[in-house]
Amino acid sequence: MKIAIIGAGPVGCYTGYLLAKQGYSVKIYENHSSVGSPIQCTGLLTKDFDKLGLSKKDFLVNTFEKVTVYSPNGKVTIPQKEYLVCRTKFDKYFAKLALNNGVVIKVNHTFIGRSGKTLRIKNALQNKIIEVTPDIVIGADGPLSPVAKAFSFYHPKRKNYFGIQALVKGKFDPKFFSAYFSKDICSDLFAWIVPESISTARVGLAMYKDSKKYFDKFMAENGFKSKEIQGGTIPLYCPQQKLQKDNCYLVGDAATFVKATTLGGLIPGLWQARVLADCIKYGKDYQKSCRPLARRLHLHLWIKRIFDNFSDKNWNKLVKYVSQPRVQKSFKKYTRDNPLPLVISVLLREPRLLWFGRRLF
């Protein structure tokens, strides 16, 4: 069986690696000239990454034990083990896994459409169109997914954020990273400062629109000057998005498998790749098999909808409640990648948090 994967990001390459291990013939087509470029992600992973059983030594930049969350008039430091990775090395790690297991990766190859079961791909190096007819097509081609559009199941209700991030110089405590919640700082989501070391940090924010305006303001207020600017589109999880149509499957950002509260999609996407490989091998229903992951993402979406209706006063109150030692214990034990146990534990320790539920409506 021949499988074509569009997109050589970590989720696409991991999917290819898993399928090649099962004996399938896999080719990955990547429109950029190299894997891991351009960088469009902060590169934070929760400790749930360890459950995948993959080595971190090739791409780990920093390990955090806590995050400081700022509201307009308060702050709280939350115990959370997190990993910061070099996204270029991270992507290349998964590409190497794929290549070492027989996957063929073709860079400078852009998917431009299809005719029936035949895919049309432009080879930029030779400036020609090639045609391939795989048995299975996997769209791992990002938030705007040309594959989903070509197969006519890109859902019209999908929404995307635009994130901007800069690599800056300064003095930082590399033991923790920071998130800033305020309508004045970032009206749609939050801003972040994530140290790579005592002298370098990744600083950014994400919004539906006006990202550059708020980003420039945040940089100026903190006295930062950018060493390198990165940016990209980030999908909001869309429950209505189908994951399969005919012989085409979606994974990762193309499937909107991203946590709505933080816009982190690496771990959900990698787990989804495992589910897909298992479904192809055993002929399982992919949409149904993804439901456990989807339920986690749906909970993130509900929480995000509550946050969307927050005032600065609400953020101050939330930070005050979360600052309590009994609530902190929940964050130390659970991660946001599996939010249900975390939410239940937090609510049992501080029932007043239920009051924020009315903001959902």
Residue 274: give its domain's CATH number: 3.50.50.60
- Is residue 256 within 8 Å of residue 156, measured between CB atoms? no
Q: What is the mean pLDDT of residues 327-343?
A: 92
Same domain, 193 and 333: no
Judge whether 250 and 152 are in contact, CB under 8 Å.
no
Give me the pLDDT at residue 39, please.
75
Given 219, 235, 251, the domain boundary residue is 235
Residue 70's pLDDT band, with cuts at 50, 70 and 90, is: very high
Q: Are 288 and 352 members of one domain? A: no
149 in the same domain as 296: yes
Q: Region 277-295: what's the mean pLDDT?
A: 98
Same domain, 48 and 33: no
CATH number, position 198: 3.30.9.10
Instruction: Report cis status (omega within 30 of 0) of the bond before 38.
Output: yes
Per-residue pLDDT, 177: 96
Range of the domain at 350: 309-360
User: What pLDDT was estimated at residue 287?
Assistant: 98
Q: CA–CA separation, 26 vs 3, rounded Å?
A: 5
Q: Are residues 54 and 203 in the same domain?
A: yes
Nearest by Cα to 257 from 275, 277, 245: 275
pLDDT range class, residue 227, cuts 50, 70, 90? confident
Confidence of residue 361 (pLDDT cuts 50, 70, 90): low
Q: 72 with 112, same domain?
A: no
Q: Within this chain, do residues 253 and 231 fall inside the same structural domain, yes or no? A: no
**Model's pTM, two decimal places?**
0.95
What is the biggest distance separating any 2 CA atoms in the chain, rounded to whole angstroms? 63
Domains held by the chain: number:
3
CB 114 within 8 A of CB 103: no
Q: Which residues contact 43 (CB under 8 A, 6 or more apart)?
A: 61, 84, 85, 86, 87, 90, 202
Distances (CA, A) of 147 to 5, 141, 200, 201, 253: 10, 7, 37, 35, 12
The DSSP call for residue 188 is S
pLDDT-based confidence at residue 41 (cuts at 50, 70, 90): confident
DSSP 345: H
Q: Are residues 52 and 117 in the same domain?
A: no
**Pairing mode, strands 200-207 and 74-85:** unpaired
SS3 category, 187:
coil
Same domain, 178 and 317: no
> Tokens 């930029």 sit at which residue?
124
Q: Is the pLDDT of residue 235 over 90?
A: yes
Tell me which of 239 and 125 has the higher pLDDT.
239
- What residues does 129 pair with on adjacent strands? 122
Domain boundary among 218, 235, 252: 235
Across the chain, what does the average pLDDT equal?
94
- The rounded Cα 350 to chain-centroid distance in angstroms is 29
Task: Give me the mean pLDDT over the 127-136 stretch.
Answer: 96
Give yes or no: residues 231 and 95 share one domain. no
Distance, in Å, from the CA atom of 51 to the CA atom of 272, rounded to the nearest integer, reads 14
> 60 and 142: one domain?
no
Q: Is the confidence at residue 359, as pLDDT, over 80?
A: no
**From CA 312, how far away is CA 66, in angstroms rounded?**
23
Lateral strand order in the sheet of 136-139: 104-106, 25-29, 2-6, 136-139, 248-250, 244-245
Tell me the pLDDT band of 356, cut-offs 50, 70 and 90: confident
Q: Which residue has the higher pLDDT, 21 or 41?
A: 21
Residue 334 pLDDT > 70, yes or no? yes
DSSP label of 305: H
Is pLDDT at 40 greater than 80 in this prediction?
A: no
* Residues 258 and 293 grouped into a single domain: yes
Over range 297-324, report the average pLDDT. Answer: 94
| pLDDT tens figures, 72-130 | 999 999 999 999 999 999 999 999 999 999 999 999 999 999 999 999 999 999 999 99
Q: How many beta carbons lie within 10 A of that of residue 37, not counting itself? A: 13
Q: What percent of the chain has pLDDT over 90?
A: 91
Residue in the block written with tokens 């229903």: 285
Mean pLDDT, residues 133-157: 97
pLDDT-derived band at 357, boundaries 50, 70, 90? confident
Choosing from 264, 284, 301, the residue where a domain stops is: 301
Position 100 scores a pLDDT of 97
If phi > 0 it is left, if psi is from -120 to 50 it is alpha, else beta; for residue 116 that is left
Which of the four pLDDT bands, split at 50, 70 and 90, describes residue 360?
A: low
